[in-house]
Amino acid sequence: MNARSERARLTGGCDAVAQYAVDGVRALQPYQPGKPLGELEREYGVRDAVKLASNENPLGVAPAARAAMARELDGLWLYPDGGGFGLRRALAAHHGVEPACITLGNGSNDVLVLIAETFLAPGREAVYSQYAFAVYPIAVQAAGATARIVPALGPESGQALGHDLEAMAAAISPDTRVVFVANPNNPTGTWVTEDALRRFLESVSPEVVVVVDEAYHEYALAAGAPDASAWLGEFPNLVISRTFSKAYGLAGIRVGYTLSSPEIAGLLNRVRQPFNVNSLALAGAEAALGDQEFIARTVNENAAGMAQLGTGLAGLGFEVAPSAGNFLLLDLGRDAAPVNEALLRQGVIVRPVAGYGLPRHLRVTVGTAAGNDRFINALAHALEGSTA
């Protein structure tokens, strides 16, 4: 058999195997992360690039977390604590709940998938908003469930592209098992108020799990977004997801968690993979949680950066919608792809969001003062070279 025939045989075998994958997986489009700095440098030959694409903390890692992870290095030949005892105890004290209410994950993406694996299946439904976080449709489709996608709010609402909670409540059917509410939402930066979210929770059947995704919670408090974890005792079907990847500056070690009733946590922990949070992540997250001074500095720096970007973008003629996260969604009023390409060639990475159905928009992370200026100047040059 020659090489071509062998390759055809092998390819045909792969196709034959692929047809037996479950329907939801075969049709799935994988999550596309933000472009890494190294990839930009390889593709464009750019040096000294700035990344404002993935909503990371420009202040980096808190010194206490860095020191805690360094102390773990000598023990990396040992498996981590599969139950995450120390981190769960610290989180329980931080939130005023029992450790049995906490499920740890390899980032909040992991716990969102755990929820889908636990409660969704073919014949069941999940409800989420039109421009909601991309992991929701991936997790729902992989579970074989049906997505009921609710149109976002219009410009007259004051939270354009945000969650229409009344419409989401109306979309819940007898087959609905999970509702995802990102507060604030990524990529839009929109948020729902305490009164609106509470009314929504009161309207949902206790048989439906409501996931309030608070990945950007630390930034969102200043905008008036609520801390939904305060309602865990009132709503047994409520699950809160949080992450250490954003304000805590630990995106590289991947650790997130949920807060829920012990009954829901017990179910999630049945499908949670053993040792899904590594030793460095457990130590770093616990130390980071204890350094709330770093979080306060992060939030203050973010507010200053948000104002800086707002002023710079206004100078370029843009009206920017408010955001409760550490990013802005910018409507260019034209196809964003050429502008994004021009930014990349200048060594500035932002996030195109055409995959969310927003081809005219770019999402921009709040960076350092120098990084923000770099973006504004690069955007001005990019716009000069493109046409509306």
Q: pLDDT tens per residue, the chain (388 residues)?
A: 555 555 555 555 556 666 666 666 766 566 566 667 777 777 878 888 999 999 999 999 999 999 999 999 999 999 999 999 999 999 999 999 999 999 999 999 999 999 999 999 999 999 999 999 999 999 999 999 999 999 999 999 989 999 999 999 999 999 999 999 999 999 999 999 999 999 999 999 999 999 999 999 999 999 999 999 999 999 999 999 999 999 999 999 999 999 999 999 999 999 999 999 999 999 999 999 999 999 999 999 999 999 999 999 999 999 888 999 999 999 999 999 999 999 999 999 999 999 999 999 999 999 999 999 999 999 999 998 765 4
What's the pLDDT score for residue 39? 79
Amino acid residing at 244:
F
In whole angstroms, give the CA distance from residue 156 to residue 152. 12
Structural domains of the chain sorted by starting position, each given as residue range(s) with its CATH number in brackets: 26-55+294-384 (3.90.1150.10), 63-291 (3.40.640.10)
pLDDT value for 23: 67
User: Tell me, what's the pLDDT at 29?
Assistant: 66
Give CA separation, 115 vs 140, 174, 236, 387, in Å: 10, 18, 15, 45
pLDDT tens digits, one per residue of 229-248 = 999 999 999 999 999 999 99
The per-residue pLDDT for 48 is 86
Q: How many CB atoms lie within 10 A of CB 337?
A: 15
Single pTM value for the model: 0.91
User: Rounded CA gap, 190 and 162, in Å?
Assistant: 5
What is d(CA 111, CA 267) in angstroms, rounded to the nearest whole number?
Answer: 12
Give the DSSP letter of residue 347. T
Query: CA-CA distances (angstroms) from residue 159 to 72, 185, 219?
Result: 44, 11, 17
